[in-house]
Amino acid sequence: MSNAKELRASGATPLVEMKDISISFGGIKAVDHVSVDLYPGEVVGLLGHNGAGKSTLIKILSGAYQMDTGEIRVNGNKVEITNPRDARAHNIETIYQTLALADNLDAASNLFLGRELTTPFGLVDDSAMEAECRKIMHRLNPNFQKFSEPVSALSGGQRQSVAIARAVYFNAKILIMDEPTAALGPHETQMVAELIQQLKAQGIGIFLIDHDVNAVMELCDRASVMKNGQLVGTVDIDDVTDDDLLSMIILGKRPGVAAA
């Protein structure tokens, strides 16, 4: 955790900077001049009520929405992200709340969806993909066995493993997790928490969207709180209590302690 902090203090270039981002839907400002950043090996929590704009903000980064104004920098370079393919090209991977899996396909097909391994003749190489899938799933979730069944036959946690495997396999530098534990039981939640620590240690930057203040306190280095489309503030987790975060979420005000 301290690594990321030192990096920030030393004035290193952030992995991602989202500057002054705005987007409106039919006259409603869903995101209103918000700026957030993320350093390598850091987990930044995005907090707020439903409709606060956190998912919308992050969908701009993952290419699902296009911002009206603002700029995105990756490693200090200004980038254009107009669709999910652009985001992937910048090593930005997203694990969606809805998991975004094709239910009728098996785990390997979902893992490689949009980036299939092919044989020299340009045909999809299912055996090679299944072999790779077995390797990565063995690392992430050793209990995973259902390789030849459609993912609709999997449990919530197993589906989540597939979604996470997809991000991890393709060497994400920037990982967006939208409520990764929402559909999971306690054991599986613990698994995701351990995974986040692993990924941090590899220098991956993670945006973690969550409702659960306790999860954010436990997993994140910093937290950015949003309310009604605006950024309430970004705080160092070490400097705040969970009550401070709650009051930021509910009242939309920065606590006096953290304001300094």
Partner 1 sequence: MTETTSQPIPAQSKRGLFQQLELDMRLLGMIGAFVILCIGFNILTDGRFLTPRNIFNLTIQTVSVAIMATGMVFVIVTRNIDLSVGALLATCSAVMAVVQTEILPDMLGMGLNHPLTWILTIIVGLAVGTAIGAFQGWMVGFLTIPAFIVTLGGFLVWRNVAWYLTDGQTIGPLDANFLVFGGTSGTLGTTLSWAVGIVATVLALAALWNSRRAKQGHGFPVKPAWAEAVMAMIIAGSILGFVAILNAYQIPARRLKRMLEAQGETMPEGLVVGYGLPVSVLILIATAVVMTIVARRTRFGRYIFATGGNPDAAELSGINTRMLTVKIFALMGFLCALSAVVASARLANHSNDIGTLDELRVIAAAVIGGTALAGGFGTIYGAILGALIMQSLQSGMAMVGVDAPFQNIVVGTVLVAAVWIDIVYRKRLGAR
Q: Among residues 166, 176, 175, which one has the least CA distance to residue 140?
A: 166
CA-to-CA dists, residue 95 to 43, 87, 171, 237, angstroms = 15, 13, 14, 23
CB-wise, 62 or 181, nearer to partner 1?
A: 62
Under the binding rule (CB under 8 A), the answer on residue 105 touching partner 1 is: yes
Q: Which stretch binds partner 1 (CB under 8 A): 16-24, 40-48, 112-120, 228-236?
A: 112-120
Residue 165 contacts residue 111 (beta carbons within 8 Å):
yes
CB-wise, 89 or 251, nearer to partner 1?
A: 89
**CA–CA gap between residue 68 and residue 80 (Å, rounded):** 12
Tell me the closest approach of the beta carbon of residue 220 to partner 1, in angstroms.
23
Which residues does 36 contact at the CB level (< 8 Å), separation at least 6?
17, 18, 44, 46, 57, 207, 224, 231, 234
Torsion, Cα of 12, 219, 97, 15 (10° steps): 10
Tell me the closest approach of the beta carbon of residue 19 to partner 1, in angstroms.
24
Tell me the closest approach of the beta carbon of residue 102 to partner 1, in angstroms.
4
CB-wise, 17 or 170, nearer to partner 1?
A: 170
CA-to-CA dists, residue 70 to 1, 12, 66, 77, angstroms = 29, 22, 10, 14
Q: How many residues bind partner 1 (CB under 8 A)?
A: 43
Residue 249 contacts residue 240 (beta carbons within 8 Å):
no
**CA–CA gap between residue 2 and residue 33 (Å, rounded):** 29
Under the binding rule (CB under 8 A), the answer on residue 120 touching partner 1 is: no
**CA–CA gap between residue 87 and residue 93 (Å, rounded):** 7
CB-wise, 66 or 145, nearer to partner 1?
A: 145
Under the binding rule (CB under 8 A), the answer on residue 65 touching partner 1 is: no
**CA–CA gap between residue 149 and residue 163 (Å, rounded):** 16
Q: What is the DSSP string of 98-114?
A: T----TTSBHHHHHTTT
Under the binding rule (CB under 8 A), the answer on residue 88 touching partner 1 is: yes
Binding mask 148-167 for partner 1 (x = CB under 8 A): --x-xx--------------
Binding test (CB under 8 A) with partner 1, winner from 37, 42, 130, 188? 130
Under the binding rule (CB under 8 A), the answer on residue 82 touching partner 1 is: no
Under the binding rule (CB under 8 A), the answer on residue 64 touching partner 1 is: yes
Contacts with partner 1 in 178-207 (CB under 8 A)? 202
Question: Which residues would be at the binding site for partner 1 (CB under 8 A)?
Answer: 62, 64, 83-85, 88, 94, 96, 98-105, 109-110, 113-116, 118, 122-124, 126-128, 130-131, 134-135, 137-139, 142, 145, 150, 152-153, 171, 202
